[in-house]
Structure 1
Amino acid sequence: MSNDTRKARNRFLVITLVRVAGTAGALFGLLLFARAHVVVDKVLGIAIVLAGLYMIAVVPRALAHKWRSPPEP
């Protein structure tokens, strides 16, 4: 396996793991929101859900943009 192939595979895995972690975080926040009886816990749950959704939507694109290979001349 060439070095470029290994680097591309590792970057793909990192992007996938970021998406999985964001999904898990959003589900945790949803669970916290659903089971909370105090307003502070509900607000915290909503904040965690929003952070997880941000992590799912923005972070993988930012990593892909950062790791994009330069165009060939």
Structure 2
Amino acid sequence: MTDPTPDPARARFFILGLVRLSGVVLAFLGISIMAKHWIEPADIIGGAFIVMGAIEVLVVPRILARQWRSPTP
């Protein structure tokens, strides 16, 4: 018999994975913008995408994990 209540840890795990994956995609988009010069100020916009992607991969998951941490009694 399955448990009727969803496990919040499982959902949080998938959210953290999606956040990291979207950060990597954003960084690759920035790299491709800088390499192909799709947009006129490619260095500025591509660099901004790379920085935002790095922040999304390195910082945002830690912030979410700290926010979701259960209080200690």
CA RMSD of aligned residues (A): 1.9
Give 1:28's aligned residue.
29
Which residue identity does 2:23 align to in structure 1?
A: G
Matched, 1:63 2:59: no
Could you tell me the percent identity over the aligned residues? 35
TM-score, normalization by structure 2: 0.86
The structure with more helix, counted as a fraction of residues: 1
Alignment of 1:45-56 (within 5 A): 45-56=46-57
Unaligned runs of 5+ in 2: none
Distance 1:70 1:38 in 2: 47
TM-score, normalization by structure 1: 0.86
Distance 2:59 2:38 in 1: 31
Unaligned runs of 5+ in 1: none
Distance 1:21 1:10 in 2: 16
Q: Identify which range, 62-71 or 28-37, moves more after superposition.
A: 28-37
Superposition misfits of 4+ residues, deviation over 4 angstroms: none
